[in-house]
Each structure stands twice: as structure tokens, then as C-alpha cells.
């Protein structure tokens, strides 16, 4: 038989450098990644100033419904009626959220109105 020498025990591979590299990559991607697209919604606060001219354009945002000038309707018909009530997308539209409405619901409605071309959205305080 052949004798090649004393058999040595195999030394295991150290995982410490690999774990360090994985954590560094994790930190790098957490700092660089964008988790959501941030898009500002321009809002002007309504103030008691000059009188209102033109047809009323009051959008009330409820927890489960939308009302245009007191009439409950879905979003798409409301946008069609708003186009009819405005001369351009630059005409002011007053938005009043009901008490207890989620901020996300209000922002979703405002975002859809902004995408429909209405650029002057004013928020008034909710009724008590």
C-alpha cells in the first residue's frame, strides 16, 4: 500500500467574510433603493377673501362616498360634472373631507382630480 503521510483534518471555510459582504450589500441597497414614488399634490388653503363667482364646485369626501354640491356620485361621473362646471382646469375646486375620513382616501381623490387636469384644489376644514 501507499502511504502518503499523516491524514490531516480538513479545515472548514470561514463564513464570516461572506456574511460581512452580505450585510454591506444589504445596507447599500437599503440606502440607495426608492421604495415609493413620491409625487407632491399641490394644495392651496381656502381663505376668507373675495366672494365666490361662478357655479359651486364643492367636493365632499366621505369614508365610502363622494358628493359634488351635495349629490352623491361615483368618481368618474363627478369628474365629468366638474369639467362641465369649470371653464378650465385652473378654476378653483373646494374639497371638504368628512370627519374621520382617512388621509389616504383624501389624497387618493385629490390625486385623481389632479390627474384629470384640475390644478387648483383648496381644502376646507371638515364639519364638526
Q: What is the pLDDT of residues 96-109, one digit of tens each?
A: 888 888 888 888 88
Question: Which residues neighbour 52 within 8 Å (Cβ) at sequence distance 6 or greater?
Answer: none
CB atoms within 10 A of CB 59: 22
- Tell me whether residue 10 is in a domain: no
- Residue predicted with more confidence, 33 or 40: 33
Q: d(Cα 42, Cα 122) in Å, to the nearest integer?
A: 9
**Residues of the domain holding 88:** 44-123
In this structure, is residue 23 part of a structural domain? Answer: no
CATH code, 55: 3.30.420.270
The pLDDT, as a whole number, for residue 27 is 93
Q: Is residue 78 part of a domain?
A: yes
Residue 128 maps to a domain: no
DSSP state of 64: S
Indicate the number of domains in the chain: 1
Q: How many CB atoms lie within 10 A of CB 43?
A: 14
27 within some domain = no
Residue 2 inside a domain? The answer is no
Over residues 20-37, mean pLDDT: 87
| pLDDT category of residue 89 using cuts at 50, 70 and 90 | confident
Domain-embedded: residue 39: no
86: its cell numbers: 369649470
Q: What is the pLDDT of residue 105?
A: 87
Name the grid cell of 28.
447599500
Amino acid at each position: 500500500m501507499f502511504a502518503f503521510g499523516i491524514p490531516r483534518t480538513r479545515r472548514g471555510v470561514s463564513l464570516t467574510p461572506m456574511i460581512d459582504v452580505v450585510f454591506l450589500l444589504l445596507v447599500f441597497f437599503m440606502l440607495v433603493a426608492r421604495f415609493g414614488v413620491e409625487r407632491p399634490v399641490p394644495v392651496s388653503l381656502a381663505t376668507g377673501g373675495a366672494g365666490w363667482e361662478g357655479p359651486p364646485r364643492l367636493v365632499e369626501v366621505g369614508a365610502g362616498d363622494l358628493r359634488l354640491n351635495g349629490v352623491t356620485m361615483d368618481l368618474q361621473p363627478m369628474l365629468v360634472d366638474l369639467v362641465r362646471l369649470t371653464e378650465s382646469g385652473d378654476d378653483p375646486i373646494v374639497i371638504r373631507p368628512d370627519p374621520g375620513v382617512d388621509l389616504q382616501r383624501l389624497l387618493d381623490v385629490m390625486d385623481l382630480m389632479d390627474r384629470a387636469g384640475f390644478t387648483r384644489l383648496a381644502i376646507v376644514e371638515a364639519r364638526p
